[in-house]
Amino acid sequence: MPSVTDAVHEAYNAGIFEGNRHSLYRDIFKWSQELRRGDRVHMNIAAKLDDFAEGWRTGQLEEIKRMNPESKMDARNNTCQKVGRLCDAMNRVADILRRQLAIEVDVADLLVAISVHVGRCRYFCSSTSVPDPYADGLDVFAKKEHELWWKTHRSRFVREISTSLMESMNCRCYRCVFTN
């Protein structure tokens, strides 16, 4: 029977986390650019966000449970809760898009907040010792975006959703620690 470590490496190599994460990161960032250009793609993006959220809820959560059968229940539940919170955020942004509750630029910022969070998702699987070749660039980008408008954005939706995402990651940056 393969060890848990072997299963983690095998899953990593198969792209269970990385393939999904980078595909989602790339797509969401592309959608934010389309909205900034004024393209009328609200419904298309909303449907794709719902699809991604549903896929992550079913596929990713099941993989986490299967890959870490011997890990502490609290750690596994915490990871599942983080993924669930990300899916909730994607569903909420999809609803905002469908009902056109925010202007395109603000929705684009919401998408960037989610893509930054997805970029930081390697922490969901921090028990793996396999290096993430993309992590450094994504972390630098996440930090810069976070410092720009996580808590100060003009849109209530952007503030609420990005704050919720960063709280789920237990962000310890100066802005989060001293403004909560």
Give the domain range for residue 134.
Answer: 4-179
**8 A C-beta contact, residue 12 and residue 18:** yes
**pLDDT at site 128:** 41
Cα separation values, 123 from 44, 99, 103, 126, 146, Å: 29, 32, 31, 5, 17
| Predicted local confidence at residue 112, as pLDDT | 73
Identify the residue whose tokens are 């922490």.
123
Gap between the Cα atoms of 59 and 10, Å rounded: 16
Token pair for residue 173? 């940056």
pLDDT values of the chain reduced to their tens digit, one per residue, 180 residues:
444 444 444 444 444 444 555 667 677 778 878 887 877 777 888 888 888 888 777 776 666 666 555 556 665 666 667 677 778 888 888 888 888 887 877 887 777 777 666 655 544 444 444 444 444 444 555 555 555 545 556 677 777 776 676 666 555 554 555 444
Q: What is the pLDDT of residue 119?
A: 56
8 and 130 Cβ atoms separated by less than 8 Å: yes
In the chain, the number of structural domains is: 1
**Measured between alpha carbons, how far is 71 from 119 in angstroms, rounded to an integer?**
24
Q: What is the pLDDT of residue 58?
A: 75
